[in-house]
Structure 1
Amino acid sequence: MMLWAWIFLSVLLVSLLSLISIFFLSFKKEFLHKLMAFLISFAAGALLGDAFLHLLPEAVEEAGFTLSLSLTLLAGIIIFFILEKFIHWRHCHIPASKEHPHPFAWMNLLGDALHNFMDGLIIAGSYLTSIPLGVSTTLAVVLHEIP
């Protein structure tokens, strides 16, 4: 199969898998809240576990445990804490209007579009390196989409 076909089919697979979330809309509201709490905590734990159990030890092995590595880690935690405080979304019951806009939908749409674009770049770049690497990267992106 040609290389562009591998890339196209892999990106199409990842894009279609993100539509599985429509299936969850058929669940009852109480069950959906419990499921979402579980999935969000699972996703956060997976990301933190990957960062602290895989990426950080690899960085320490590569560069040694230096002051710059420690300060970079601390700066990352502080920056994201401050970012969370500035763009914290608060729930309100005022309907959206020109005087009171609700930009969350646009922020979500733009962020998701950028995220999917980056997924496509990562998949295409890995296929350009080698087909087995492209397949394994596609699998990693698919597993990343699940939580």
Structure 2
Amino acid sequence: MSAPVAALLSVLAISLASLAGALTLSLGRARLERIIFLLVSFAVGAMMGGALLHLIPESYEALGGGPKTGLLVLAGVLAFFVLEKFLHWRHQHGAPEALAGATGHSHGHGHGHGLEAGAAPFALVNLVGTIAHNVIDGAIVAASYMVSIQTGIVTTIAVMLHEIPQEIGNFGVLVYGGYSPRRALFYNFVAGLGGLAGAGLVLVLGAGFEGLADYLLPITAGAFLYIAGSDLIPELNRRHSYPASKAVGQLLMMLLGIAVMALPLLIGGAGH
């Protein structure tokens, strides 16, 4: 099998990880409604772990020391702040109404719109960040296959280990933001196909796109930090802080998200 074909097949397998949220569809709407705050908490840990344990360290390795990486992370934060503000202006229903019906209940604003019409802007912001992340992952996998088949396989496994938990978290964020579970699964899958675009660009353009991906890494990290810190954590504090058992559940799921994102680092360290 040629390296380009192996790269595309590997990225397609990683893209299918976006369907991991399907595991929750079998729970039923009532049970999903009870655990959605746990999925969101898991997403917080996965996003922050992905940004701080993978994307930012990789950015420093690719771009070198100095303030460049930090400035690009800040640029990502500010860019997604502006994007969310724009979506709020275009979408006058805003997040509170959507969050009130996050798992399928009516939003109660009486305009007769469908569920997606009342979805929170941060859910779309999350999708944009996810697409950018998947494009970068696809580029990384394709570039590794250009080195050797063995390097590509190892990279694919590492990417898959951090992609599955993040995709489960993304699914929870979309449902919490007002999308129906099935629509959230579909959008998450479409976002997952961004990996094929990233791989295709690397295979066609070669090292030129790889250099661009180095700059997208910290911007994507800033996006994840923004979404987790400005949208998800405040909502968890506002809506799910009591009773104490829920707060403990939040913390444990955040730690689980961080731990799973740290797993590829531990495996990689053990392999040296």
Q: Do both proteins adopt the same fold according to a TM-score greater than 0.5, normalized to the shorter chain?
A: yes
The bucket for the TM-score relative to the shorter chain is: 0.5 to 0.7
Aligned length: 138
Find out whether 1:95 has 2:113 as its counterpart.
yes
For the residue of structure 1 that corresponds to 2:48, the secondary structure is helix
Cα RMSD over matched residues? 4.0
**How is 1:102-117 mapped onto 2 (pairs within 5 angstroms)?**
102=117
Higher normalized contact order (CA 8 Å, seq sep 6+, divided by chain length): 1
Alignment match, 1:133:
151
For the residue of structure 2 that corresponds to 1:63, the secondary structure is coil
* Whole-angstrom distance in 1 between the partners of 2:129 and 2:54: 26
Q: Which runs of 5+ in 2 are unaligned?
A: 89-93, 99-106, 167-272
* Whole-angstrom distance in 1 between the partners of 2:65 and 2:53: 16
**How is 1:52-131 mapped onto 2 (pairs within 5 angstroms)?**
52-53=52-53, 55-56=55-56, 59=60, 62-64=64-66, 66=67, 70-88=70-88, 90=95, 91=98, 92=107, 94-96=112-114, 102=117, 118=135, 119-131=137-149
Deviation at 1:128, TM superposition (A): 1.4
Return the TM-score normalized by structure 1.
0.61
Return the TM-score normalized by structure 2.
0.38
Deviation at 1:111, TM superposition (A): 5.3
* Whole-angstrom distance in 2 between the partners of 1:12 and 1:140: 15
* Whole-angstrom distance in 2 between the partners of 1:16 and 1:31: 25
Q: Which runs of 5+ in 1 are unaligned?
A: none
For the residue of structure 2 that corresponds to 1:102, the secondary structure is helix
Deviation at 1:5, TM superposition (A): 4.2
* Whole-angstrom distance in 1 between the partners of 2:138 and 2:69: 30
* Whole-angstrom distance in 2 between the partners of 1:55 and 1:117: 12
* Whole-angstrom distance in 1 between the partners of 2:155 and 2:43: 18
* Whole-angstrom distance in 2 between the partners of 1:63 and 1:22: 41
* Whole-angstrom distance in 2 between the partners of 1:48 and 1:116: 13
Contact 2:20 2:164 in 1 (8 A): no
Q: 1:133 to 1:83 in 2, by over 3 A?
A: same
Find out whether 1:145 has 2:164 as its counterpart.
yes
2:26 partner letter: S
* Whole-angstrom distance in 1 between the partners of 2:73 and 2:128: 24
* Whole-angstrom distance in 1 between the partners of 2:27 and 2:144: 37
Between stretches 76-85 and 111-120, larger displacement belongs to: 111-120
For the residue of structure 1 that corresponds to 2:112, the secondary structure is coil
- Deviation string 1:45-89 (CA, Å, 9 cap, x unpaired) is 23323433555466399324x4x6555444433332332233245
Q: 1:25 to 1:55 in 2, by over 3 A?
A: closer
Alignment match, 2:178:
none
Percent identity over the alignment is: 38
